[in-house]
Chain A
Amino acid sequence: MSDPLLVVEGLNAYYGPSHVLQNVSFSVTEQAVAIIGRNGMGKSTLCAAIMGMTPPRTSGSVRLEGTELIGRASYKIAGLGIGYVPQGRRLFPSLSVEEHLRMVAGRNGGPWNMRRVYELFPRLAERKRNGGAQLSGGEQQMLAIGRALLTNPKLLIMDEPSEGLAPTVIEMLVETFGKFEEEGLRMLLVEQNLVVATSLAERQLVMIGGEIAAETTASELAGSVELQRRYLGVEPVAH
C-alpha cells in the first residue's frame, strides 16, 4: 500500500518561547481537507511549519508520501510537491505578472506550464506586463495560485485564499478549486470563510489554541448553527 499524501504527527511549532502549535496530528489522503478556526489559533503557523519556513522552530513529523519534511529546506519541500499560496498573497512588488510565472515555470516536471495557467486565469494573460502590486485583489490571488501551480504540486496549501475578495471572485475561485479536486490535485485549505471551506472540502478540522480540537464534516457543520457558533464564534452563515 502506498503512503498517504500528507501525514502530520505530533507537530509542535514555537515562535521564540511561545509554543504556538501543540502536538498537531492529521493526514490528507484522498480528498481535500479544510482547517477552520478563528484568528490567532495557529492556522497560518501550521502552513509555515509544513512549508519549512523559519521561524517557527518545529518538532514532530510531517511526511509527504512517506518523505520526512521536518528539517528540510523550504525549497526542497516545495520541490517534493507542495504548492503554497500564503496568506496575503505575498507577491513580489518588483516583478511583473509574467515574471512571477516565468521564474517558477519549468523547475519541476508536470502538467502545469505558463500557457495552462493563462488559460485557467485569462485575466492574468491580459495583465502580463503589470506589476504584482498593480493588480486587484482577485487578480493577485489568481497570480499567487498560478505561481504555486507552476511548481507542479501534489498538494496545494492555501492560506485564507478568500480573504478580502469580492463575493463574485470567491465564487469563481471556488469553482476553480472544484476543478483541481476533480483533476486529483489535493488541497489543504485554511479558511475562516465557512462557505468556501464547506463547499470545497468534506473533512473539516477545527483548530483552537494551536491544537486540532475537533474533526467534523461540511454537511454536519452546514446543518448545525450550534457547531458553527462553537468553532468559529461567528454568526452562522445562512443556508
Chain B
Amino acid sequence: MTGFRLPRLNRRQVPLLVVGAAVVFALAYVLLIAQKPPATGGGNWRTTTFGSAVDDPGSFLRIFLDSITFAGALFIVASGFALIFGLMRVVNMAHGAFYLLGGYIAYEIQQAMTGQGFAIPTSQVNTWEWVVPLLVAAPCIAFVGFVTQQGLLRWNQGQELRQALITIAISVIVADQIIAHFPRATSTVAQKFGGNAVSLSWPGWTDRFVNLHVAGVHYSLARLVMLGLGIAVGLALWLWLYRTKTGMVIRAGVDDQKMTSALGINIQRTFAIAFVLGSALAAFGAVVWASQANIAAGQDGQWLLNSLVVVIVGGMGSIFGAAAGAILYAFVLNFSATYLPTAGADCCTQYSIVVTFALIALVLAFRPQGLFGRPG
C-alpha cells in the first residue's frame, strides 16, 4: 500500500514557514477578518478601528494612501542617509539633527516671507513662499554637512567608532542650539525659543481634496504632492547614480573605494559631494514633512531612527533599497496602528511600534544585508 507522505520539513524551513503564515494571517486579517468595534462595550480579537478592507474599503484606501505618501517623505530623508552610509560607511548620527535644523530654518524663512505668525493658513501661502524656504534651507544644511565632513570626518576615515561619536556630538550640539535659538518667529512670548513645535504651510493650491472616484474617497492633494516629491527625488537620484559619470564613480566607490582611487579618481571629492547632497536631502525631507505635520525639538532622534530603520530594512548603498525600506516601514507603521486589535470603542492601539521592530528583526534574521543589499 502506498501512503501519502508529507514532504519532510527541513529544520531551516520552519522559521520561514512561520513567518510566511504570519504574513498571510496579517493580510487575511486586514482584508477579511477584522470587524468594526461595537457602539458600546469592549471588543474582541477581531475588533479594529475601521473593520476589514471588505467592510470599509474607503478607510482601507485612505490608510493605504497615508502609508504610501508618508513613504514619500520618509524616502527623501532616508535616501540622504543611505547615500552617506552606503558610500562612506559613515553612520551619520547627526542626520536627524540636520533634518530638524533644516526644518526650523525653512520655517523662519517662510515666516519672514509671509509675516503671518505662528500658524499660517495654507490658503495664504503661495508656491514661492514654500519653494524659497526649501531653496534656502537645503543649501544651509548642505553647508553644515560639508563642514562636518571636511572638518571632522575626513580625518577619521575608516574609524567607525570615532565617526559615530563625532556625529553624535554634533547632533547633541545642534539639537541644543535649536532649543536655544528656535523658533524665533512666534506671536506669543511664551512660545518663543525652546524648540517648540512649529509647522510650515504647503502652498495654497494644495489645500484641497481630490475625488479619487474610488469608494467615495476624497484625498488630500498636499499628501499626494508629498508622494510626488518623493518619486521626483527618487528619479533624480536614479538618473544621477545610473546615468552620470559621478554616479558611476559613487557606485564604484560603494563596491571598492581603494580600487576606485587607484584608477586616478579622487574619491575624497566624491565623498564630499555625497555627504553634501545627503545632508541637503535631510533638509528637503524636513521641509516636506514639517509642511504636512510639524517639527519640534526631540524629533531629531525619531528621524534618525526612521532613517536607520529604512536603511536596515532596504539594504545600504542602494536607492532601490531606500525606496523599498521606506514603503515597507510606512505600511507596517500605518497599518499596524489602525488594524491591530483595539479594546472596543475607546480606540487605538499603542503597539504599532512593536510591529515595526518585528519588521527589523525579521529582515535581520532572514536577510541581514537588507532587501536590496549585497552580502558581504
* Contact (A75, B252) CB under 8 Å given A51-B262, A53-B262, A103-B245: no
Interfacial chain A residues near B263, Cβ < 8 Å? 75, 78, 84, 103-104, 147-148, 151
Question: Residue B266 contacts which of A75, A86, A104 (CB distance < 8 angstroms)?
Answer: A75
Q: Which of A93, A95, A107, A148 contacts B265 (CB 8 A)?
A: A107
Instruction: Identify which of B245, B254, B255, B264 contacts A78 (C-beta below 8 A).
Output: B264
Residues of B within 8 A of A95 (CB): 248, 251-252, 255
Within 8 A of A (CB), among B260-302: 260-268
B102 to chain A, nearest CB (A): 30
Contacts of B162 in A (CB 8 A): none
Whether B255 lies near A75 (C-beta < 8 A) is no
> Which size class do B's interface residues fall under?
20 to 34
Give chain B nearest CB distance to A12 CB in angstroms.
20
For B312-326 the 0/1 string (1 means CB < 8 A from A) is 000000000000000
What chain B residues lie within 8 Å of A100 (beta carbons)? 252
Chain A contacts with B in 187-227, Cβ cutoff 8 A: none
Contacting residues, chain B, for A147 (C-beta < 8 A): 263
Judged by a CB distance under 8 angstroms, whether B259 is at the interface is yes
Q: What separation, in Å, do the CA atoms of A108 and B259 have in the docked complex?
A: 17
Q: Which B residues are in CB contact (< 8 Å) with A123?
A: none
Name A67-112 residues within 8 Å CB distance of B. 73-75, 77-79, 84, 86, 90, 92-95, 99-100, 102-104, 107-108
Distance in angstroms from A234 CB to nearest chain B CB is 29
A92 B258 Cβ-Cβ under 8 A: no
| Residue B218 lies at the interface, judged by CB distance under 8 Å to chain A | no
Instruction: Give bound CA distance, A107 to B265, whole Å.
Output: 8
Contact at B262–A103, with CB atoms within 8 Å? no
Known: A75-B267, A78-B263, A103-B245. A94 touches B258 (CB 8 A): no
The verdict on B346 contacting chain A, using a C-beta distance below 8 Å, is no
- State how many angstroms separate the Cβ of A54 from the closest Cβ of chain B: 8
Task: Select from chain B the residue with minimum beta-carbon distance to A74.
Answer: B261
Is the pair A84, B262 in contact by a Cβ cutoff of 8 Å? yes
Interface membership of B249, Cβ < 8 A = yes
Given contacts A74-B258, A92-B255, A92-B256, contact A103 B374 (CB under 8 A): no
Q: A91 CB to closest chain B CB, in angstroms? A: 8
**Bound complex: CA A123 to CA B265 (Å):** 26
Alpha-carbon gap, A155 to B261, bound state (A)? 17
The listed residue with most B CB atoms (<10 A of its CB), out of A94, A95, A100, A108, is A94
The interface residues of chain A lying within 8 Å CB-to-CB of B264 are: 75, 78-79, 104, 107-108, 151
Interface residues as binary, A139-150 with B (CB distance below 8 Å gives 1, 0 otherwise)? 000000001100
Query: Chain A: which residue is nearest B248 at the CB level?
Result: A103
Measured CB to CB, the closest approach of chain B to A194, in angstroms, equals 27
User: Cα distance A102–B251 when bound, in Å?
Assistant: 13
Closest to B374 in A: A93
Minimum CB–CB distance from A84 to chain B (whole Å) comes to: 5
Contacts of B251 in A (CB 8 A): 92, 94-95, 99
B257: shortest Cβ distance to chain A, in Å? 10
**Measured between C-beta atoms, what is the minimum distance from A17 to chain B in Å?**
19
A96 to B, closest residue via Cβ: B248
Q: Which residues of chain A are within 8 angstroms of B255 by Cβ–Cβ distance?
A: 92-95
CB neighbours (8 Å) of B260 from chain A are 92
Q: What 0/1 pattern do residues 154 to 175 of A give for CB contact below 8 A with B? A: 0000000000000000000000
Interface centre among A102, A103, A104 (most CB of B within 10 A): A103
A99 & B248 in contact (Cβ 8 Å cutoff): yes
By CB atoms of chain A within 10 A, which of B245, B249, B261 has the most? B261
Is B252 within 8 A of A53, CB to CB?
no
Contact between A103 and B265, CB atoms less than 8 A apart: yes
Tell me, rounded to whole Å, the shortest Cβ–Cβ distance linking A116 to chain B: 17
B256:A90 contact, CB within 8 angstroms = yes
- Contacting residue for B262 out of A78, A92, A102, A108, CB 8 A: A78
B262 touching A94, Cβ below 8 Å:
no
Can you list, as one digit per residue, whether each of B212-251 has a CB less than 8 Å from chain A (1) or not (0)?
Answer: 0000000000000000000000000000000001001101
- Taking CB atoms, residues of chain B closer than 8 Å to A51 are 262
Rounded to whole angstroms, the CA-CA distance of A84 and B263 in the bound complex is 7
- Complex-state Cα separation, A86 to B261, whole angstroms: 13
Which residues of A are found within 8 Å of B261, using beta-carbon distances? 53, 73-75, 78
A94 with B252: in contact, given A104-B265, A107-B265 (CB under 8 Å)?
yes
Expressed in whole angstroms, the Cα–Cα distance for A186 and B374 within the complex equals 38
A residues apposed to B, CB below 8 Å: 51, 53, 73-75, 77-79, 84, 86, 90, 92-95, 99-100, 102-104, 107-108, 147-148, 151
Identify 30 residue pairs between A and B in the complex whose beta-carbon atoms are under 8 Å apart, listed by A's number: A51-B262, A53-B261, A73-B266, A74-B262, A75-B261, A75-B262, A75-B265, A75-B266, A75-B267, A78-B261, A78-B263, A78-B265, A79-B264, A84-B263, A86-B262, A92-B251, A92-B255, A92-B256, A92-B259, A94-B254, A94-B255, A95-B248, A95-B251, A95-B252, A102-B245, A103-B252, A104-B265, A148-B263, A151-B263, A151-B264
For the A-B complex with A75-B261, A103-B265 known, give 11 more contacts whose Cβ atoms are closer than 8 Å.
Answer: A75-B263, A75-B267, A78-B265, A90-B256, A92-B256, A92-B260, A94-B254, A95-B248, A99-B251, A103-B245, A147-B263
B interface residues with partner A (beta carbon < 8 Å) = 245, 248-249, 251-252, 254-256, 258-268, 374
